[in-house]
Amino acid sequence: MTAVQPGQPASEFKTPVSIVTGFLGSGKTTLLQNLLKQTHDRTLAVIVNEFGEVSIDGPLLDVREQGVELHDVHGGLLAYGGEGDQFYRTLRALQGRRHSFDHVLIETSGLAVPTAVMVALEAAEFANDFVLDATLVVIDTPLLLAGDFGTQRDEAAAKVFDAQLEYADVAVLNKIDNLAEADLLQAEADVRYRAPRVRFMELAYEATLDTQLTLGLNLHGNRRRAAHQAPVSGTPSSAMQPLHDHTALDGHSHGDLDAHLHSLSTHQHFHEHDPGWQSFRLTSSAPQNLPELVRTVQNVARVFPVLRVKGFVSDAAGKRYALQAVRSRVDTEATSIPAEAVSELIFIGYHISRKKVIEALAKALPAEAWG
């Protein structure tokens, strides 16, 4: 942990904050989970935000690692302030004992743009205590290559995805384990085309990044960071260079937010006035036939505009599984979470009908009684 040196007032030290963003199902939580396993040399506070009625990502994060404190902020998008804002209350709680942490990690909702956090960190209330270290956007590379962010059907998804890229310092190509080199080059070209001002492009095999590529980057702190603050361990050396020419950054100061402030209100308006993004929670008290449930979720995603499904299900043997779906790609994994009688799934999509999804589940799985 960064220690306060004798004779140096605590106010000179700012706690670095990293934002992890990315569209629904990009692998943010898995990436964070693997990152936490590598951070035994520092103490972290983690804030997880979800778009849904209940938290699913929070329980998926294994925070049994020493030095990790989890704060779950669910029920909507990270907001832009106000006394009743749960995110601001959480940030104030951390502010009161920020010298207990080396770093704060914030995972935003898959439908959020990181501007809300950027605005908060620039506010007079927090600017003297926190500093934005870097914003990382996690990308579902196979989905990008499939063109799912370019079709007319997914126009709403493309708008969110492009806005996340716009404010990212580091683009992380995730889910690349089975991709050829030509695919990776195409994916990088696609990202560079959509977001030419991204500074670094990183590859995440098995959703894993070295901490030197994620924490302690100090991409925003040169102007406001206190002169006496010691660097966080793992800061990249001066020899580390991004994959593209830095001259592309001319006139676009990522080091400060000034160049972006003109459009922050646009994204606030975007969040508050697009009711098409919807989520709902379905539960079932019956034991689940996991293979049949997987096939049904796949079919539901093919028929309806369901972009993301996640939750926990229990089978007849009393085993508890995490189910995660991105469109019609469904994965399940046995968990160490104690089995419960009730299974629950969160469905997220654009103009999706709860009634129609329930009807589809009832037709395919009449014995499981989802509702």
The DSSP secondary structure of 248-276, one letter per residue, reads GGTT--TTSSTTTHHHHHHHHHHHHT-TT
Q: Is it the case that residue 266 has pLDDT exceeding 80?
A: no
Of all residues in the chain, what percent carry a pLDDT higher than 70? 73
Domain ranges within the chain, ordered by starting residue? 10-272, 277-364
- State how far the alpha carbon of 23 is from the alpha carbons of 30, 113, 163, 262, in Å: 13, 9, 10, 23
The burial class, CB within 10 Å (0-12 / 13-18 / 19+), for 14 is buried
**Higher-confidence position of 29 and 55:** 29
Query: pLDDT digits over 116-174, tens only?
Result: 888 889 889 999 999 999 999 999 999 999 988 876 567 888 988 999 999 999 999 99
Which pLDDT score, from 0 to 100, does residue 331 have? Answer: 92
Query: pLDDT digits over 332-348, tens only?
Result: 989 877 767 789 998 98
Which pLDDT score, from 0 to 100, does residue 110 have? Answer: 87
pLDDT band with cut points at 50, 70 and 90 for residue 228: very low
**12/225 Cα distance (integer angstroms):** 8
Q: Do domains 10-272 and 277-364 have the same CATH topology?
A: no
Q: Is it the case that residue 198 has pLDDT exceeding 50?
A: yes
Query: pLDDT digits over 304-331, tens only?
Result: 989 889 889 999 888 989 898 988 899 9
**153/107 Cα distance (integer angstroms):** 27
Give domain 10-272's CATH architecture. 3-Layer(aba) Sandwich (3.40)
**Higher-confidence position of 114 and 254:** 114
**371/230 Cα distance (integer angstroms):** 53
- What is the identity of the amino acid at 225? R
Mean of per-residue pLDDT scores for the chain: 78
Long-range contacts of 336-342 (CB under 8 A, 24+ apart): 337/59, 337/312, 339/314, 340/312, 340/314, 341/285, 341/314, 342/283, 342/284, 342/285, 342/314
Q: 10 Å Cβ neighbour count for 227?
A: 5
pLDDT band with cut points at 50, 70 and 90 for residue 220: confident
Q: Which CATH number fits domain 277-364: 1.20.140.10, 1.10.580.10, 2.30.60.10, 3.30.1220.10?
A: 3.30.1220.10
- State how far the alpha carbon of 319 is from the alpha carbons of 84, 213, 298, 339, in Å: 39, 37, 22, 6
The structure tokens listed for 167 are 């404010």
- Residue with tokens 């006496």, as numbered in its chain: 228
User: How far apart, in Å, do the first and last CA atoms of the chain sit?
Assistant: 48
- Residue with tokens 């106010």, as numbered in its chain: 11
> Which alpha helices (H) appear in the chain, and where do they start and end?
28-36, 57-60, 86-95, 115-122, 141-145, 155-166, 181-194, 261-272, 290-303, 354-364
Which pLDDT score, from 0 to 100, does residue 152 have? Answer: 56
DSSP string, 98-132: GGG-SEEEEE--TT--THHHHHHHHSTTTTTTEEE
- The helix (run of H) or strand (run of E) holding residue 195 is none
DSSP state of 205: B
Query: In a 3-state reduction of DSSP, which class is residue 278?
Result: strand
Q: Is it the case that residue 226 has pLDDT exceeding 60?
A: no
